[in-house]
Structures are given as structure tokens and as C-alpha cells.
Amino acid sequence: MANRFVDLALYPRNDSHHSQEQNNNTMKIITQYSFGRLITGALLTSMADLPAAVVVDQFNSPDGGQGVSISNGIVGTSQNDVRTGLTVLGGSREVFLQLEAIYDAANFCSANVNGVTSTDEFSLANGSNVDTVCKLTWDANSGGLNTNLSLDYAFSILNVHNDTPVAYTISMQTFGGGTSTQTVNTGLNYTGNLTFPFSGFAGGANLADIDSISLNIEGGRSVDVSMDALVTVPEPASAVLAALGGLGLLVRRRRA
């Protein structure tokens, strides 16, 4: 259909079978069609200019993995591992693991990123005799992320799986300012993505200047947890406003 209109535009008919009125109608259709194509282009251009999601961590570094484990510990026993030079937001990640309760002196738990059995993912495994809390922190090795999330809508943890109930808590902190938190609880055998809308956070962190992001995972006995990434979700309204802005500009130019 587009090619036919282009041909008509280049070679308007004016013979006995096509009156001037018919030619005018044809040109009107061509104009409307072309304007529609321009609108579509403007909308797509506006959408392409939107901020992309912020990738906090895809759990695919470092090579060889990062992790901590505890064997035969007592309540309060903890281990942590900080790595820098990683392909994560701010370049560093801390993995912290602590025993919250024990039910036998013989116990074990571990948390790993990109390990031998957890390639390109994070995993937490508790033995049958412990409850734990695991905390992942991104803060540019305590230097501050200085990240603007004010144009985003939410955090999303991708491809989550846990076989027993787990509480996931994300915290955002502005150094010298406030901290905002939100918790999402999952049940048995949960599989899917978890979304944390910024509107659901409680606290005073400045979304335009986030210096630290952390994820707490509270798991009970025999829990196995895995996830593939932590990212932000762009604000849906931003897409609409950007698209409408492009359309409005095009309409003004057309009227001029």
C-alpha cells in the first residue's frame, strides 16, 4: 500500500477518469499516510531516547566465583567477602552471611555468586539445622554509587526460585541522608520475578542520589535460593510522556 501511494504522489492522474476532486482526495490520503508515518517515527524515537534500566548485578562475575560458607557455627557467626573490579553497579559487591538460629551443633550454610554450581547466578543453601540472613551490598566499595534512580519505577529481581518461604528486603541509602526499605515475602516453591515499586519503600533515601543498595535474604532450614539479576524498571509514565512530547513537537511543526 505504501508503494502505491508513493507512485500516486509522483504521478498524480488528471485524465478523464480522474477528476480534480479525486486527485485532491488522493493527495489528502497521501498526506495523512505520510503524517502517520512521521508520528510513528517520532514515537519510536522518543521511546528510544528513554533511560535504560539500571543493571545492578547480573551475578556473572568474578571469574571463578565469590562466596562464603559457615560450618558448625553458633548463633551470630558470620562470614563476609568483598570483591572489587566486578561488572556490577559501582564495581564492587559484598556477600555477607550470618547464622540467625541453629538447631544442632552440626550445621552448614553457604552463599555463592557465579560459582561452580551457580554459574551466572546467586545461590543460597542452608542445611537442615540453621536459619540464616544473607546480605548483598553494592556501594562502590564504600565510596558511594552516586546513582540517580528518580526516573525509574521499581527494582526487579529476575528469575527467583526458593523452595521454602523467604523474606527479601531491598534497602537504598543516601550517604548523609536517609535509608528506604521494602520487604517482599514468598511462599513454598516460588518461581518468578520479584518487583519492588519505589512507591512501596518506607524511609528517606533520595532517589536522585543513591549511594548504597543492599538485598537481604532471610531463609530458614533447608532453603535453597537462586536468582539471575537485580535491575531497575523504568517508570512507565516516562515512556508515555516522552512519546507524547515527540508527538506534540511534530504537531506544532506541522501547524507552523
Give the model confidence (pLDDT) of 155-183 as tens digits. Answer: 999 999 999 999 999 999 999 889 999 99
Q: Is 48 left (phi over 0), alpha (psi -120 to 50) or beta?
A: alpha
Q: pLDDT digit string (tens) for 19-28? A: 555 555 545 5
pLDDT of res. 203? 97
What is the reported pTM? 0.75
Max CA separation in the chain (angstroms)? 100
- Residue 98's CB is within 10 A of a number of other CB atoms, namely 19
Q: Where are the domains of the chain?
A: 2-50+237-255, 55-235
Q: What is the pLDDT of residue 118?
A: 82
Q: DSSP strand E in the chain: where?
A: 55-57, 66-71, 78-83, 93-102, 108-115, 118-126, 130-138, 152-162, 166-173, 179-186, 190-197, 202-203, 212-219, 224-227, 229-234
- CATH number of the domain at 55-235, please? 2.60.120
Cβ contacts of 86 within 8 Å, gap of 6 or more: 61, 62, 92, 93
Rounded CA separation 60/81 (Å): 16
* pLDDT at residue 250 tops 60: no
Which pLDDT tens digit goes with each residue over 31-61?
Answer: 454 545 544 454 445 445 556 789 999 999 9
